[in-house]
Amino acid sequence: MKYKLFLILLLIPAFAGMTYAQEATPPSVFDEGVDTTIKPEDIGDDVRQWAQNTALKLKEVLKQTKRLSYPERRRTLIQTVQSAVEEARDTKELLLMRFTLNRALKLETLFQNQPDSLALNYILLPAMKQAITLYENADLPYLEANKGKPEGEIGPPPSAALAKANIGYLLTASTMNKTHLGQFEILKLSIAWMANDLLRSPEAKRNPANARIILNLQVLEESLKNITPSEITYTLLNMIRSTLLESAQHIVSETNARIAPALAPAPIPNPPPPPPVKETSSSSNQLSILANNLGSRKWEARRDTVRLIGKIQSQKATTLLINTIGDSDQDVRNATMDELAKRTLANDDLSTIKPFLSHHAWEIRHNAVRLLRKINTPESTSLVIPRLDDSDSDIRALAKSILNTRIKQ
């Protein structure tokens, strides 16, 4: 799904009136808007009652679903959030808890056909808990402070503070998604949401630091709009993450606004290490040339090179293959694992495998654990044991299976 931002630059102090908007789409109850005029009825008793009832429903469903299976709990939480948003379909979207719930629904759709535990632990549960906190600590005080005020004197909630607090949640969501395209789409949404949150706050968007952030986000979005799926790389994704994190750190929030983050920022993952070019003697000249070819920008060339290296039975060839399990392309990684499956690995290979056990991409960690299974030694087992606590359920299951065959009663 493409998300396009339009930045309307009005050259008046603080860029007042600037707005981002997505491509024209049919009106949706889940779409956000950036409104500049708030009327007394927009924050009247109906809105107040919706917020109170929604907070109570969220608290109750979080308790009631604790013992459900992951798929059942995911479905129930989604239905609860959707129901809450639909109940507010006829009211202007102002409250921060409602933005949080809307965004959770959008993010969850990018985790389709991915483990339910990811959508629950990194999208739905943090968002619902934060929505409750936002109602109590931000939305309710906002409604009370503006009760009875005439039109023109009612300002929006502290959305810039929300943008600053939520960067950890968004970056973690992008990191935990299991596809490059999914990560990319989440990061593009994050750009739009951060910009809109700053523009939504008259106080925040008048700050020069925030105005620069808005302009930087517009430039970033423009640079990404023509990116194709084949061009999405670890380097690109990490560049976007770093830009968003740095932007959030420089956001100047509204005066006296305090919003707790939904999740602490996840570390920016490192790209897979490039395969080393080994110094070889003249008798190993072919392997040296092949090692250089593993740096090709064409995935087909890297895949074919892996298959050729597989024909060379030497420790240097094995080391090159192990380093290639971190390739950015899945077909190259699959070819590498096929070639390594034909080889005998030993303790000497553990130092090459070990860095991939902490890689941010679950597929690469999974490949590394598969290689540890081929080395049945105490040193290898000591590297498998920590994977019982891996964030990915498939890796935890694989580690358990390996250890069940090695650790006897």
Confidence of residue 286 (pLDDT cuts 50, 70, 90): confident
Under a CB-based contact definition with an 8 Å cutoff, are residues 220 and 240 in contact?
yes
| Within a domain: 3 | no
| Within a domain: 374 | yes
What is the residue type of 400?
K
In the predicted model, is pLDDT for residue 278 greater than 60?
no
Higher pLDDT, 408 or 19: 408
Confidence of residue 333 (pLDDT cuts 50, 70, 90): very high
- DSSP summary character for residue 15: G
| Within a domain: 275 | no
Least confident of 9-13, 306-310, 356-360, 401-405: 9-13
Higher pLDDT, 168 or 262: 168
Supply the pLDDT for residue 2.
37
pTM, two decimals, is 0.58
Tokens, residue 166? 């939520």
Say if residue 45 is in the same domain as residue 93: yes
CATH code for the domain in which residue 386 is found: 1.25.10.10
| Within a domain: 263 | no
| Within a domain: 264 | no
φ/ψ (deg, to 5) at 64: -70, -25
| Within a domain: 316 | yes
Say if residue 100 is in the same domain as residue 240: yes
Say if residue 288 is in the same domain as residue 211: no
Alpha-carbon Rg for the chain, nearest whole angstrom, is: 25
Domain hosting 345: range is 282-406
Distance CA 136, CA 228 (A): 42
In the predicted model, is pLDDT for residue 209 greater than 80?
yes
Contacts of 5 (CB under 8 A, 6+ apart): 20, 21, 22, 191, 192, 195, 217, 218, 221
| Number of domains the chain contains | 2
Say if residue 287 is in the same domain as residue 224: no
In the predicted model, is pLDDT for residue 35 greater than 50?
no
Buried b (16+ CB within 10 A) or exposed e, 375-384: beeeebeebb
Supply the pLDDT for residue 39.
60
